[in-house]
Amino acid sequence: MLKGNLIKKTRKTKKAQVWVNTVVYTLIAFSLIAVVLAFAKPKIEEIQDKAVIEQSISLMRDLDSTIMEIVQGGSGNKRVLETSIKKGELTINSLEDEINFEIESRYVYSEQGTTIQDGNLKIKTEEFGDLNLVRINRDYENYNITFNAKEENKIISKAATPYKISVWNRGKKETGDGEKWHIDVEVS
């Protein structure tokens, strides 16, 4: 009898040991996954932000190119751009006659605090807490930029559906700085 009880205890101990090992190995695996994710997730987000910044710069180039085309086309010329904003904000600043795009990012596009020139665009990266604020700016000092024919600022934020940005050449207009092309932007 003593021998039978000893065999039962040994089997129970072996089964318990198997369960303990399984739990320990599972915890180790979860810990390793967590460590890998802790390092990989910020890098993945940085790569995604880089792609979004490059798309935003492309949007600003397209918008600038469209404005230049309608000015060359003369008064009454209109173009429509269809674009989506996945992250950041596009600002039509009619008061300062400029168009800006700002995005909070993990990616450092340029040296922080230094403005770089990319064609007609000025791009600046600034530290913003744990993130970076990338600003893309196009100044239209020789044009009168309006939004819906009004001197007001309009902020266009990220959205699931694409925006249709209409750009009109409304002809030359007398301003306090002399005669300028009147460029009107509408968003739907």
pLDDT per residue as tens digits for the range 127-141:
999 999 999 999 999
pLDDT digits (tens, 9 = 90+) for 136-157: 999 999 999 999 999 999 999 9
User: Is 0.85 topped by the overall pTM?
Assistant: no
Confidence of residue 10 (pLDDT cuts 50, 70, 90): low
pLDDT digits (tens, 9 = 90+) for 96-127: 999 999 999 999 999 999 999 999 999 999 99
- DSSP track, 12-41: HHHHHHHHHHHHHHHHHHHHHHHHHHHHHH
Query: What is the CA 43 to chain-centroid distance, rounded?
Result: 16
- 117, containing H or E segment: strand 115-118
Phi, psi of 3 (to 5 degrees): -65, -40
Rounded Cα distance between 177 and 40, Å, is 53
User: What pLDDT score was predicted for residue 134?
Assistant: 97
Rounded Cα distance between 140 and 146, Å, is 11
